[in-house]
Structure 1
Amino acid sequence: MASLRPIRRNGKVIEVIASCVDITERKKAEQELERTKKLLESIIDDSADGICIIDTGGNVLRVNHSFEMLYGWSENELVGRQLPIVPLEMEDEFKSITQEIQGDMLAKTFETVRQNKAGELVHVSITLSPIKNGYGEIIALTGITRDISERIKSEEFFRKADKLNVVGQLAAGLAHEIRNPLTSLKGFLQLMKESDKRRVEHCEIMLSEVDRMNSIINELLIFSKPQPKVLKRNDIGALLYSVINLLEAQATMNGVQVYIEIHGDLPPICCSEVDIKQVFVNVLKNAIEATPNGGKIHIVAFEQLNELIIRIKDEGIGIPTDSIHRLGEPFYTTKEQGTGLGLMMCYKIIHDHKGNLSIRSAVNQGTTVDIKLPVTD
């Protein structure tokens, strides 16, 4: 940049002083600033999210095209006005958020509801950020708005679908759990039909099974208002012997021999007797069904590292290695007829008792199920 200054004497110009200043860097800075400005304007204008800039008083300074499309107001209708998108009942909340941002000078993201020009409510996600001047003072706020209405609809759809799924699982689970005692009853009745003797212990077991079905139905009736289960100190050996007697008829009909071994005087465990017996019934019944050509099932109970371990091992057909990790998923089963819900319930019951259930298996070599339960203090 050059400037000329004349020097006069007696009204006449006798010389001219010229001065030059190199403004190359300033021009470069101005050009860079202009490029940055255009870039920012392009980002704002082309953004798929609605962008609005308001001053510290809440008046609109600028909105982009996406904001216009989302809410229905044009930029000319909004500039200089207070934002009309906040429902009356949420104005205090919005003021509180803007004051919070101006106080701690940090951006804030939240999900809320806003109102468009037609008076319709729109579910949105908003990020409010402070705009500062060179002195670090907040001079405006920028809001980036994303329409999340479709996501909210999808979540609501899946919530309803989950409820329907729960109903389906409940129905299938009811059929599965009641089928177990019915199978036992059928087995004992067949034995009694083939024998002239009427064993009192068989009748007692059948009555016990009827009581178990009644217990399951009662639990379903109070499903909408679940109550804490009554936990009592129980002898694990007594529970196992009870379950073995329960499934004796089914094992006999399948040519399966069940052996049980209790190591030492095991301490009691604090548990729900009905639930733990349900786990043992399901696991032992699966072992019997997995041994269709007859064989042996070994049950061992022992204490290790302050845990009771109940190991049930069969000599059945086994489970493919690539299927083991899926055991316990609802409706996944390796049996021709089954829902997978029984084992899923077993996992849940043992988890609720702060225990662990693990399965090891190999095709044609059998399956081993380890149930670990904490020892009662």
Structure 2
Amino acid sequence: MTLSSDLQRKLAIVVQTGLSLVNTRDLEKIVQSATDAGLALCGAQFGAFFYNIINEEGEHYRLYTLSGVDRENFSAFPMPRSTGIFAQTFEGRGIMRSADITKDPRYGRNAPFHGMPPGHLPVHSYLAVPVKAQSGEVLGGLFYGHEKTGVFDRDAEELVATVAAHAGIAIENARLREELMKKIEEQKKTEVRQKDASNRLGELAAIVESSDDVILSKDLTGRITSWNHAATRTLGYSEEEMVGASILRLIPEELHDDEKIILEKIRHGERIEHFETVRLTKGGERIDVSLSISPVRDASGEIIGASKILRDISTRKRMEISILQAEKIAATGRMAATIAHEINNPLEAVVNLLYLAGKKATDPEQIAYLTSAESEVTRVSHIARQTLGYYRENASAISTSLATLVADAARIYRPRCDSAGIRVELCIDSSKEIVVRRGEMMQVISNLIANSIYAMPSGGVLRLAVGDTPVGVLLTVEDNGTGISAEMLPRVFEAFFTTRKTIGTGIGLFVARQFVEGHGGKICVRSSIDPASHGTTISITLPLQSIYSAE
């Protein structure tokens, strides 16, 4: 399939804009770049990006950027409100595209202008796309207009939606960086204040008791000699429980050797600053902490122990992980764009060859296999485009039975299972039909079957069951493979987390959960690595009343 030069140019704009937004930290540059890119992609006469920010007092207010028109053209007009026309975008309910907005029944129903203010540039063609964070928070919206009618088509809508998705990630990253820098700066200022306060011996007792940080002292054997209120709040132990006890009670067993090194440094008069490690609470929870430890001397100057300031930095660590996760997703998007572009034409060629082979085949079984292969290659092409981030599932939701989809998937994977020594058991006991996007559900089922095959390298049993429930349909995929450890099980639905040592992207179950929950359903997993009962069971419940309607 050959792309037109205009579409190639627009796709290049999308990719370049995505790369630019990922590498830009300045919020104003992010929103201006997104506004300009959207204008170039949809062919509007002018566009604007209205976005929300929070000032230092925690108040929300709205700013905007323009493209294709001078700022003077809008300086005299008030900010748009959540009227009938604008509410859909500002509330994040979806994209709004109109061939002639003046014909929309919601147009012109709000005082004082009842339409466009006097002097406003004429607008007939209208396109508005909400910009959201990954949490679902609406950050603002991209708005484009043209004096002619019927200017914006679906391609323009999808391309601008892609820019909006990139902008949402970039704005969220910028916010996270700003919050992290503020936290770090605040921590530095607090540490300076603590250092100054430590020199005021007359105020030491009051500072220790009122501090938000854990402050304790210990002797040179590691026995705790003082314990402040913050230590009780953070670590859970009372002063009575800890004074006289060993500091090792707070340290995970695998880190006990660290305490020996710390005490040796203290004996030599060394100070330890901002040492990041892990400590245990009374409830057994592990928390990330930053330690500052100083020698304590008696009146003669002899070192008799150490004072320790412990700060809980778990929140900061989580923020750092969030930033890394966002940047991983952005990097994966760039890689997906390159891969999808390179493999799309070969995939089309394979589809054509399979079609021609099917025309020449005479054996019904061969024809069935070729038809299935053509369907699966088409689905691969769909997944590749979907991974780009600027392609959305366009196929209408259909009413079908989950049993039919499972039977189709089992037929496709049965030869692979046979060659791997895996026995496939089908237990179909369902007559209900549900409304689903077929491509998404086939991707979910295929991912689960592929995971089970990988988990049984020496063969085994794969059981696929579909049954009716009072409110929907239940799909169960069960294998007696190697299983997943209890430590890893809570993370299996995280993006980029995988239990495979050499292959695996870590997005299969992540995508599966997105698709299942997108249909209003639920997915859960239980697994065991016990030699007597190893294996994994994944259950999916889909409701009869889907959020989609069959078309």
Relative to structure 1, is the Cα distance of residues 152 and 261 closer, same or farther in structure 2, using a 3 angstrom cutoff? closer
Distance 1:172 1:362 in 2: 35
- SS of the equivalent of 1:257 reads strand
Equivalent in 480, 494, 508 of residue 329 of structure 1: 494
Aligned equivalent of 1:338: 504
Aligned equivalent of 2:523: 357
Q: Does 2:440 correspond to 1:288?
A: no
Equivalent in 473, 476, 485 of residue 308 of structure 1: 473
- SS of the equivalent of 2:435 reads strand
Query: Contact between 2:336 and 2:387, CA under 8 Å: does it hold in 1?
Result: no
Query: Contact between 1:260 and 1:300, CA under 8 Å: does it hold in 2?
Result: yes
Equivalent in 201, 212, 226 of residue 379 of structure 2: 212
Relative to structure 1, is the Cα distance of residues 233 and 164 closer, same or farther in structure 2, using a 3 angstrom cutoff? same
Equivalent in 241, 248, 252 of residue 407 of structure 2: 241
Distance 1:340 1:160 in 2: 18
Shift in Å, 1:230: 2.4
Distance 1:274 1:320 in 2: 31
Shift in Å, 1:200: 2.3
Equivalent in 409, 415, 428 of residue 262 of structure 1: 428
- SS of the equivalent of 2:468 reads strand
Amino acid at match of 1:263: D
Q: Does 2:201 correspond to 1:252?
A: no
Shift in Å, 1:291: 0.9
Query: Contact between 1:172 and 1:341, CA under 8 Å: does it hold in 2?
Result: no
- Output one character per residue of 1:226-281: Cα deviation in whole Å (capped at 9) or x when no partner: 466622111111100111112122212211111111114x2111111000000000
- Output one character per residue of 1:161-199: Cα deviation in whole Å (capped at 9) or x when no partner: 7664323333677879x9xxx9xx9xxx9xxxxxxx982
Q: Does 2:482 correspond to 1:317?
A: yes
Amino acid at match of 1:366: G
Query: Contact between 1:299 and 1:313, CA under 8 Å: does it hold in 2?
Result: yes
Aligned equivalent of 2:536: 367
- Output one character per residue of 1:41-83: Cα deviation in whole Å (capped at 9) or x when no partner: xxxxxxxxxxxxxxxxxxxxxxxxxxxxxxxxxxxxxxxxxxx
Shift in Å, 1:325: 0.5
Query: Contact between 2:516 and 2:522, CA under 8 Å: does it hold in 1?
Result: yes
> 1:219-230 residue pairs with structure 2 within 5 A?
219-220=386-387, 223-224=389-390, 226=392, 230=396
- Output one character per residue of 1:286-311: Cα deviation in whole Å (capped at 9) or x when no partner: 01110111111111111123121101
Query: Contact between 2:386 and 2:393, CA under 8 Å: does it hold in 1?
Result: no
- SS of the equivalent of 1:368 reads strand
> 1:1-377 residue pairs with structure 2 within 5 A?
110=59, 151=178, 154=181, 164-170=327-333, 199-220=366-387, 223-224=389-390, 226=392, 230-264=396-430, 266-336=431-501, 337-363=503-529, 364=531, 365-376=534-545
Distance 1:284 1:207 in 2: 19
Relative to structure 1, is the Cα distance of residues 213 and 162 closer, same or farther in structure 2, using a 3 angstrom cutoff? same
Distance 1:275 1:242 in 2: 14
Identity %: 22
Query: Contact between 1:287 and 1:314, CA under 8 Å: does it hold in 2?
Result: yes
Amino acid at match of 1:203: L
Query: Contact between 1:259 and 1:298, CA under 8 Å: does it hold in 2?
Result: yes
Shift in Å, 1:214: 2.0
- Output one character per residue of 1:282-336: Cα deviation in whole Å (capped at 9) or x when no partner: 0011011101111111111111231211011101111111211011111211111
- SS of the equivalent of 1:372 reads strand
Relative to structure 1, is the Cα distance of residues 267 and 173 closer, same or farther in structure 2, using a 3 angstrom cutoff? farther
Distance 2:487 2:449 in 1: 22
Distance 1:205 1:341 in 2: 24
Query: Contact between 1:173 and 1:342, CA under 8 Å: does it hold in 2?
Result: no
Relative to structure 1, is the Cα distance of residues 162 and 256 closer, same or farther in structure 2, using a 3 angstrom cutoff? closer
Query: Contact between 2:336 and 2:384, CA under 8 Å: does it hold in 1?
Result: no
Q: Which has the higher strand share?
A: 1
Relative to structure 1, is the Cα distance of residues 224 and 207 closer, same or farther in structure 2, using a 3 angstrom cutoff? closer
Distance 1:169 1:324 in 2: 24
- SS of the equivalent of 1:279 reads helix
Give TM-score, length-normalised by structure 2: 0.35
Distance 2:443 2:417 in 1: 17
Amino acid at match of 1:259: E
Query: Contact between 2:520 and 2:542, CA under 8 Å: does it hold in 1?
Result: yes
Distance 1:242 1:281 in 2: 10
Distance 2:458 2:471 in 1: 38
Amino acid at match of 1:322: E
Shift in Å, 1:111: 7.0
Distance 1:340 1:234 in 2: 29
What do you get for the CA RMSD once the two structures are aligned? 3.7
Query: Contact between 1:360 and 1:367, CA under 8 Å: does it hold in 2?
Result: yes
Relative to structure 1, is the Cα distance of residues 318 and 261 closer, same or farther in structure 2, using a 3 angstrom cutoff? same
Aligned equivalent of 1:57: none
- SS of the equivalent of 1:247 reads helix
Amino acid at match of 2:542: L
Gaps of 5+ in 2: 1-56, 63-174, 183-318, 355-362, 547-551
- SS of the equivalent of 1:325 reads helix
Query: Contact between 2:480 and 2:535, CA under 8 Å: does it hold in 1?
Result: yes
Query: Contact between 1:267 and 1:376, CA under 8 Å: does it hold in 2?
Result: no
Relative to structure 1, is the Cα distance of residues 327 and 163 closer, same or farther in structure 2, using a 3 angstrom cutoff? closer
Larger Cα-atom Rg: 1
Distance 2:497 2:484 in 1: 13
Query: Contact between 1:257 and 1:297, CA under 8 Å: does it hold in 2?
Result: yes
Distance 1:334 1:216 in 2: 22
Aligned equivalent of 2:240: none
